[in-house]
Structure formats: C-alpha cells, structure tokens
Structure 1
C-alpha cells in the first residue's frame, strides 16, 4: 500500500463506520498512510452486502 500511496495511485479510501472500532490497528495504518482528510466513512449496511453477494451467482 505504501508504494500505491506514494505514487499517487491511492489518494483516498472509503471505509465503513465499523472499521475504526473493530480494526483499530489497521485503521491507524491507513491514517498513517493517507491522513484522516483522505478517509471517507460510510454506514455499514449488512443487507446490502448480502444482496450484493447473491447477485453474483
């Protein structure tokens, strides 16, 4: 990920609101790489992910 950020391929990241509390170590890694201004948080919608998985069948 470091090379992707430093070369400008990754300019930001979208995460669900649960990541910060459930995966604190990885969240801090992303903050160190991108800065909090480039992290966009969206609500976690479990039903959306379930229907998305079924639609790939």
Structure 2
C-alpha cells in the first residue's frame, strides 16, 4: 500500500506474481491458481510451449 509501482523492478514484480499464483486457495480445492491452470491445459492436451493468440 502506498508504494509507487513504477519504482518496483521487473524481477520483484515477477517474484510477487509467482507468490500469488503459487498460493494454495481453499476455494480452488487447496490448489494454487498455477496448478489449476496447468491441470486445465493438461485436460486440453496443451503443452507449455503452446502460444495463444487473441484475434
């Protein structure tokens, strides 16, 4: 709170993002959002090397 986000370097931003995405959540069945996303990709038989485009 109260921090100018323009003063935060890219690496710190990435670290914060990773911590948020790897946090286990009760609402997600005690999975992290990252785990849930990867599970959904696996259901679609999509690998981590796939690139998504939005038209």
Both proteins in one fold, TM over 0.5: no
| Structure number having the greater helix percentage | 1
Instruction: Indicate the TM-score class for this superposition, using the shorter chain for normalisation.
Output: under 0.3
Instruction: With a CA cutoff of 8 Å and minimum separation of 6, indicate the structure with the bigger relative contact order.
Output: 1
TM-score by length of 1: 0.25
Larger radius of gyration: 2
| Structure number having the greater strand percentage | 1
